[in-house]
Copies of this chain bind each other. A is one copy, B any other.
Amino acid sequence: MFNIFQYSEDKYKEFVEILNQRKSQQSSNVTEKVQDILAKVKQEGDGALIELTEKFDGVVLKDLEVSNEELEEALSKIDDEFKNILEEAKKNIESYHNKMLQRSWCDFQEDGVFLGQKVVPLERVGVYVPGGTATYPSSVLMNIVPARVAGVKEIIMVTPPDKEGKINPAVAVAAKVAGIDKIYKVGGAQAIGALAYGTESIGKVDKIVGPGNIFVATAKKEVFGEVDIDMIAGPSEILVIADENANPKHVAADLLSQAEHDKLASSIFVTTSKKLMDETIEELKIQTSKLSRKEIIEESLENYGLFILCQSIDQAIELSNKIAPEHLELMISNVTENLPKVKNAGSIFLGYYTPEPVGDYFAGPNHVLPTAGTAKFFSPLSTESFLKKSSFLYYSQEKLNKEGNKIIKFAEQEGLTAHANSVRVRVEDGRV
């Protein structure tokens, strides 16, 4: 039933093949539809948003913006216990992301040079939040809080309305806790178009973040360059490395928590213990039967689950570095000695008592992570994602006189005589 392997160097290709089957071929059909929607929003503004919301969400809106009354009504539907948990999670996320704030710096040199880097928050950010039955207030926190910490002036959220034209209450309360400025009821590619180009009611933003379906993802890729986007997200995965001291019940539960996300999610288990492997597989069967998302879990585990026996923890980490999983759990006794060996992973969960949901919901690190092997070059969403830099540079007249001829020679080597000229006119005037 499961894909079980004894690890060897040449098996790696097989693993990758299984994982890569998940990468959906983007149909050009979707791209065309999205391009049409984007063009319509660019030309017609709010009118297009109202029209497309009727078409896709089946509701005619009078106002796109969520009013204070509607927000209060949504908030009243959420119990205080959950509000308090949201507040506490928000504090933890804020505290973690505060540590990633960057400062401008300047280097004053004795020879009349000063240079450095200016760090400035983005001005306006748009956060996309999917609608539908499965709504994720945790993602709302994870996308808004870092932008707020970075100092973004205005953060606006877009999310599709339900059949009654209302916003999801859990999403509303999370947005409020995170400190959103404005919420608009619009979803799909049309919402991305509104954020990228601006309409009468929704101002153009500098960056769009947040997850979405294939239409939203395609629209984000289309407008990239017109605005910045967070990342190109693919199917997600967990890789659990466990030694013989790990509890098979815990390991199984963690593999299941990833598998329930969607049919394309992948749970990868790598261990040095045959006994743990066998017991975990038994546990998977027992626990799955009790879970609400049983069908999704079974399909994900059978198709994209990998169960790999390794000879050493070193070998397991080496394999993990090749796969570059979104989530990596190290359920091993010697955490501090092995963490340095991890090169490629979105987020690393250490020890026997840090299952992924601790990070998904509560502890502080961001849960928006590079997926599908992109942890080799992408980083988690962070405070830095909402900061940008400018370099700056000052040369004194004396310093330019000293170095001018080198710069002239360099420019001439490249055939750019006007570049050389802009130094020459100054050096000649300032000859000492």
Which residues of A does B touch, CB under 8 Å?
81-82, 85-86, 88-89, 96, 99-100, 105, 107, 113, 115-118, 120, 122-123, 133-138, 170, 206-207, 224-225, 227-228, 232, 234, 247, 249-250, 253-254, 256-257, 259-261, 287, 290-293, 297, 335, 339, 342-366, 374-380, 382, 384, 388-397, 399-400, 403, 406-407, 409-411, 413-426, 429-430
Contacts and interface: CB of A to CB of B under 8 A. Distances in A.
Rank and list the top 10 A-B pairs by shortest CB-CB distance, nearest first.
A365-B391, A225-B232, A228-B377, A253-B422, A260-B418, A379-B389, A350-B394, A348-B392, A355-B422, A206-B377
A392 B234 CA distance: 21
Contact of A378 (B291, B388, B414, B419): B388
Given A206-B376, A257-B421, 4 more contacts: A254-B422, A349-B393, A349-B394, A358-B407
A254 B422 CA distance: 5
Number of copies of this kind of chain in the complex: 2
Contacts of A430: 353
Contacts of A356: 419, 422
Given A342-B390, A422-B355, A416 B249 contact: no
A85 B411 CA distance: 11
B348 A118 contact: yes
B354 A395 contact: yes
Given A358-B393, A380-B390, A410-B361, A422 B292 contact: no
B348 A390 contact: yes
Given A292-B415, A377-B206, A419-B260, A357 B253 contact: no
A202 B260 CA distance: 39
Interface centre among A115, A360, A380 (most CB of B within 10 A): A115
Contact of A358 (B122, B382, B415, B423): B423
A424 to B, nearest CB: 8
Contacts of A422: 250, 253-254, 256-257, 355-357
A395 B353 CA distance: 6
A360 B414 CA distance: 12
Contact of A423 (B224, B345, B355, B397): B355
A220 to B, nearest CB: 11
A409 B339 CA distance: 30
A256 B86 CA distance: 56
11 contacts: A228-B377, A253-B422, A260-B418, A342-B390, A349-B393, A351-B396, A353-B397, A356-B422, A358-B423, A359-B391, A375-B390
Contact of A417 (B293, B358, B382, B429): B293
A90 to B, nearest CB: 12
A280 to B, nearest CB: 12
A431 to B, nearest CB: 13
A9 to B, nearest CB: 17
A249 B357 contact: no
Given A260-B418, A414-B134, A118 B342 contact: yes
Given A346-B390, A356-B422, A422-B355, A82 B380 contact: no
B429 A257 contact: no
Contacts of A351: 394-396
